[in-house]
Chain A
Amino acid sequence: MAVPRTLRAFAPAVVLALFLGMFAPGQGEDPVPPQAPRVVRLPSGAEVPVRTVGTEPDGELRVPGDARSAGWWRGGSRVGDASGKTLLAAHVDAPGQGLGPFAELYATRPGARVVLRSEDLVQVFRIRSARLVPRGSVAGRPGLYSLRGSRRLVLVTCAPPYDARHGGYRNLLVVVAAPTGPARASR
């Protein structure tokens, strides 16, 4: 055989590598199942803890009273889901706390980076849009929370104008971010 001596020396290693390769997990597989988000990192670097929340019977989202935490609607998509929206909502302000971290979204810019983390997964998003919508119009906007359609992170907080006699803030700021890639294992 005309196999050079040096190659022959490596042959056992090559065979071993091929053998081990047979047992390696498939490429591009993500062995971690989708998980509830735990932390969102805003463009400023502020890390906001995320709590899993449901809705009241009348459809009101149970947003945490503490403006330093965000609520994730548990009916929506999780970190690692291939499609659908992850809806996170936080108070823009709270008594005794001043402005909450979500207030920075008022001044955010296209392309700003938001990172969503669960216990074992991390996914990076870039902000695509920021729009004001009337506060009472969430029900007619399944694009904010639906499990279907493109994968999006939707960040929501209250926004002016403010009318103390008519329920406070009249608008919601809806910030939509698109993933830069799939969710990956964080460790």
Chain B
Amino acid sequence: MHANYPRLGLVALALALAQTALAGAPAGLPENASARLSGSLTLVQAVPGRTVDIRIDGRPVRRAADVGDVVGPVRLSAGRHTVTFVSPGEAEVEAAIRVNAGGSRDVVLHRPAVPAGRPVVSSFRTPTGGVAPGRARLVVATTASVVPADVRVDGRVVFTNIANGESARTQVEPGIHRVTLVPSGLAGPVVLGPVDVAVAPGTVTVLYAVDGPGSGAAIVHTLALRPGGGVAPGRVDTGSTGLARDLPVRQFGGG
């Protein structure tokens, strides 16, 4: 295996941990009143074999980002911002990104579907709506030079036909999930993985499939979510008029 690509699962976990450490200050979602006027961007460098300087509105935010580097979340005022990726000896790649108030978005520099093509920028809105208690959200995006893929989580196909620059999301139970991408409609060969992704309750975990030798690589990062969907049901109130008061009830089976 290539030196830059140790075990994929470990890369994923290490990046997730690095991200948690890095995100000490603005850890994902805005909470205060001023947050209504701002949103956040997370910048992801997903082009193998390049070091990239990243600027937002001309201001440097990261020098020499390697493949797999996740920068941010960077808090920005709501509105349009320009994100620029600069690589020595290569043309600049620039994208105008709209930041929504209270929203969170990933901006990813990655290879296009055609392997020889120049790097492109895709932006993915992070689904930060609440999840049900005891659940977590998993987002999988294809940012590798591959054909449209089906995403398997723990062996089951949960998304079909995700093309380069597209993403899909689902709710999962917290824990370790094994993610595999295969060409759409086929059993193989594997495009990515399997990658083991640790998913914590009440979080959204975003996985980017990236070009790499063999079965590709993954970049993973995580944001906390607001609780949603209510608490676990403690009371069920399903009667009102008393019409059924004299009806017999047949009971059977285990409690």
Query: Which residues of A approach B to under 8 Å, CB–CB?
Result: 23, 25-26, 29-31, 33-34, 54-63, 73-76, 82, 87, 89-95, 98-99, 102-103, 106-110, 127-133, 135-136, 138-139, 142, 144-145, 147-148, 156-162, 164, 168-169, 172-173, 176
Q: Is there an interface contact between B133 and A75, defined as CB atoms closer than 8 Å? A: yes
> Which of A30, A63, A106, A131 contacts B237 (CB under 8 A)?
A63
**CA–CA, A49 and B108, complex, Å:** 42
Residues of B in contact (CB 8 Å), total: 42
Compute how far the CA of A87 lies from the CA of B233 in the bound complex, rounded to whole angstroms. 10
A60–B235 Cα distance when bound, in Å, is: 4
How distant is the Cα of A87 from the Cα of B235 in the complex, in angstroms?
Answer: 13
Contacts of A138 on B, CB cut-off 8 Å? 233-236
Cα–Cα, bound, A66→B247 (Å): 20
A142 to B133, CA, bound (A): 13
Asked if B229 and A99 make an inter-chain contact with CB atoms under 8 angstroms apart, the answer reads no
With A93-B241, A164-B242 known as contacts, the answer to whether A73 contacts B233 (CB < 8 A) is yes
Q: How far is the CA of A136 from the CA of B236 in the complex (A)?
A: 8
For A25, the chain B residues whose CB sits under 8 A away are 185-187
Given A30-B156, A31-B157, A92-B239, answer yes or no on A74-B244 (Cβ-Cβ < 8 Å).
no
| Residues on B facing A (Cβ under 8 Å) | 132-135, 150, 156-160, 170, 173, 185-187, 229-255
Residue pair A160, B236 in contact (C-beta under 8 Å): no
Q: How far is the CA of A52 from the CA of B37 in the complex (A)?
A: 32
B157 neighbours in A (Cβ, 8 Å): 29-31, 33
Q: Which of B135, B156, B187, B237 contacts A158 (CB 8 A)?
A: B237
Taking a contact as CB atoms under 8 Å apart, the answer to whether A168 and B253 are in contact is no
Could you jot down 10 A-B contacts, CB within 8 Å? A29-B157, A60-B233, A75-B133, A75-B233, A95-B240, A99-B243, A147-B173, A156-B238, A168-B240, A172-B238
A142 to B246, CA, bound (A): 29
Q: What CA separation (Å) do A169 and B237 show in the bound complex?
A: 9
Interface contact A93-B253, CB-CB below 8 Å = no
Are B236 and A135 in contact, CB atoms less than 8 angstroms apart?
yes
Bound CA span A103–B239, Å: 10
Given contacts A61-B233, A74-B132, A138-B236, contact A132 B249 (CB under 8 A): yes
CB distance from B127 to the nearest CB of A (A): 15
Q: Which residues of A contact B231 (CB under 8 A)?
A: 55, 57, 59
* Residues of chain B with a CB closer than 8 A to A99's CB: 243-244
Partner among B135, B234, B238 whose Cβ is within 8 Å of the Cβ of A90 = B238
- Once the chains are docked, how many angstroms separate the CA of A121 from the CA of B240? 33
B184 → chain A closest CB, angstroms: 10
Extra A-B contacts (17), CB below 8 Å, given A133-B255, A144-B233, A168-B242: A25-B187, A33-B170, A55-B234, A62-B230, A75-B135, A82-B156, A89-B236, A93-B244, A94-B241, A106-B249, A127-B253, A129-B252, A130-B249, A135-B235, A160-B244, A160-B247, A173-B249
Residues from chain A with Cβ under 8 Å of B240 in the complex: 91, 93-95, 168
Give Cα distance in the complex from A102 to B236, angstroms.
14
Q: Judging by beta carbons under 8 Å apart, are A147 and B244 in contact?
A: no
